[in-house]
């Protein structure tokens, strides 16, 4: 892997861990039905209580945990060798693309339907956008080299 | 297969993260313990129903929060239906985003000093959409409160302390939204108005 790409992969790995830990924290609150530390007023509670936060019965943070865990494993596997790293890059981009579609849909749902903003969801959405940007950047570097 | 130093580093972090996540999930998914009745009920200024009722419902609420206004009618129905078997406790938890929530809480506490707490409580929720300083004064006048005392009491340290103590209790148990209900010490997760009715009815039935 190119040095720049290696750095980008490390950043995506760290951001995925951060996203995973946030997701676990919010998920436990969904499962235990307990309060969430929230700097956006009662937004997190409003989001947690809304049936819209359980698409197909799955709590939204569980989807986040799965997505970030998948990204974490992919970025880890990319370090094994260059060939595997190249093969898995489209998977990272694919996962990040699904991630940004999902967070965009959920942010829209929060703002216009639930009418409450959850701080953790906002941070996670931003995190996913950064991961997407970095994975695209990796692809561009890969193509150049 | 020989692992590169990069892979070894990632593997170490990955394993560490998995251990932290598993540990956190085990610790955090234990069901929350019910809060002791003493903590939630003792010191409460305003209750409806027998103090020794086996089933007790504690509400942390805000007079200006629309959801609290909706749940008000359900609580009223429950306290009427189960007046001999349910202890209902109202605790103030005015949210800073609601401009009239604190004055309304002070008004209810000031009315309590003239023996008209529940009358003011009902009037505040009934007129929630139009809450204002003028409306509160008008409600107090309609109730026949001594206006001079009422206005003075609304600003008194004693009244402010009752509200502040309720907020401090709410903060200490992690409340960050209204309304929040505790049924027999267990926090209820309500998505519809009917959920509250069902939870209380089931608790009462279980005590038969």
Over residues B129-141, the pLDDT tens digits come to 999 999 999 999 9
Which of these ranges, A47-56, A59-68, B104-113, B123-132, has the smallest mean pLDDT?
A47-56
Mean pLDDT of B165-185: 88
Average pLDDT over chain B, rounded to an integer: 91
Mean pLDDT of A112-120: 87
Residue B120's pLDDT is 97
CB of B21 less than 8 A from some CB of A: yes
Chain A positions touching B24 (Cβ under 8 A) are 24-25, 28
Residue A22's pLDDT is 93
Answer yes or no: do A33 and B189 touch at CB < 8 A: yes
Confidence check: pLDDT of A50 > 70: yes
Mean pLDDT of B75-95: 94
Domain ranges of chain B: 1-30, 37-206
- Identity of the highest mean pLDDT range in A67-76, A110-119, B44-53: A67-76
CB of B25 less than 8 A from some CB of A: yes
CB of A75 less than 8 A from some CB of B: yes
Smallest CA–CA distance, residue A27 to chain B, in Å, is 9
Residue B157's pLDDT is 96
Q: Are strands B186-187 and B180-183 parallel, antiparallel or unpaired?
A: antiparallel
Chain B positions touching A11 (Cβ under 8 A) are none
Residue of B5, B17, B19, B96 to mutate for A, most A C-beta atoms under 10 A: B17
Residue B172's pLDDT is 83
Residue B6's pLDDT is 86
Band (pLDDT 50/70/90 cuts) for residue A69 is: very high
* Beta bridge partner(s), residue B91: B60
- Identity of the highest mean pLDDT range in A93-102, B172-181, B186-195: A93-102
Cα–Cα dist B23/B12, whole Å? 17
Here the tokens at position A43 are 């937004």
Confidence check: pLDDT of B168 > 80: yes
Residue B40's contacts (CB-CB under 8 Å, 6 or more residues apart) are B56, B58, B89, B169, B182, B185
The chain A residue lying nearest B20, using CA atoms, is A21
Here the tokens at position A42 are 């009662």
CB of B191 less than 8 A from some CB of A: yes
Residue A39's pLDDT is 74
Residue B23's pLDDT is 87
Residue B31's pLDDT is 67
Band (pLDDT 50/70/90 cuts) for residue A41 is: low
For domain B37-206, say whether CATH 3.90.1150.10 is its number: no
DSSP state of B58: E
Measured torsion, CA atoms of residues B40, B43, B46, B48, in degrees rounded to the nearest 10: 60
The chain B residue lying nearest A70, using CA atoms, is B14
Here the tokens at position B106 are 């002070």
Q: What is the pLDDT of residues B42-82, one digit of tens each?
A: 777 799 999 889 999 999 999 999 999 999 999 999 999 99
CB of B14 less than 8 A from some CB of A: yes
Answer with the residue of higher pLDDT: A28 or A64: A64
Percent over 90 (pLDDT), chain A = 57
CB of B64 less than 8 A from some CB of A: no
H-helix segments, chain B: 5-28, 37-41, 66-81, 101-112, 117-126, 133-142, 147-154, 157-172, 193-206
Residue A114's pLDDT is 86
Mean pLDDT of A120-137: 95
Band (pLDDT 50/70/90 cuts) for residue A33 is: low
The chain A residue lying nearest B11, using CA atoms, is A76
Residue B45's pLDDT is 75
Mean pLDDT of A135-143: 91
Residue B4's pLDDT is 83
Confidence check: pLDDT of B173 > 80: yes
């Amino acid at each position: 892997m190119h040095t720049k790409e290696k750095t980008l992969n490390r950043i995506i790995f760290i951001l995925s861990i951060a996203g995973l830990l946030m997701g676990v924290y919010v998920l436990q609150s969904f499962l235990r039905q307990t309060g969430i530390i929230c700097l956006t007023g009662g937004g997190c509670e409003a989001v947690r209580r809304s049936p819209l936060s359980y698409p197909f019965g799955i709590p939204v943070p569980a989807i986040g945990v799965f997505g970030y865990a998948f990204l974490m494993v992919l970025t880890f596997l990319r370090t094994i060798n260059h060939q595997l790293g190249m093969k898995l890059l489209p998977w990272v981009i694919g996962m990040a693309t699904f991630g940004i579609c999902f967070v965009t849909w959920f942010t829209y749902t929060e703002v216009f339907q639930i009418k409450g903003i959850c701080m953790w969801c906002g941070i996670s959405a931003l995190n996913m956008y950064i991961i997407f940007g970095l994975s695209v950047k990796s692809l561009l570097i890969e193509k150049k080299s | 297969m020989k692992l590169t130093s990069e892979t070894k580093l990632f593997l170490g972090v990955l394993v560490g993260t998995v251990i932290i996540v598993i540990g956190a999930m085990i610790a955090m998914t234990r069901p929350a313990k019910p809060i002791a009745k003493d903590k939630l009920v003792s010191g409460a200024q305003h209750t409806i129903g027998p103090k020794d009722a086996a089933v007790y419902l504690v509400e942390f609420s805000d007079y200006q929060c629309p959801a609290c206004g909706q749940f008000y009618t359900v609580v009223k129905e429950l306290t009427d239906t189960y007046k001999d078997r349910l202890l209902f406790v109202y605790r103030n938890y005015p949210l800073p985003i609601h401009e009239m929530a604190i004055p309304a809480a002070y008004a209810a506490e000031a009315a309590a000093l003239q023996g008209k707490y529940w009358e003011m409580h009902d009037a505040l929720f009934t007129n929630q959409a139009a809450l204002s300083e003028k409306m509160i004064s008008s409600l107090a006048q309609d109730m026949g409160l001594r206006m001079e005392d009422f206005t003075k009491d609304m600003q008194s340290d004693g009244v402010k302390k009752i509200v502040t103590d309720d907020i401090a209790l709410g903060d200490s148990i992690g409340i960050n939204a209204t309304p929040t209900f505790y049924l027999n010490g267990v926090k209820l997760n309500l998505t519809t108005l009917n959920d509250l009715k069902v939870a209380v009815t089931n608790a009462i039935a279980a005590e038969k």
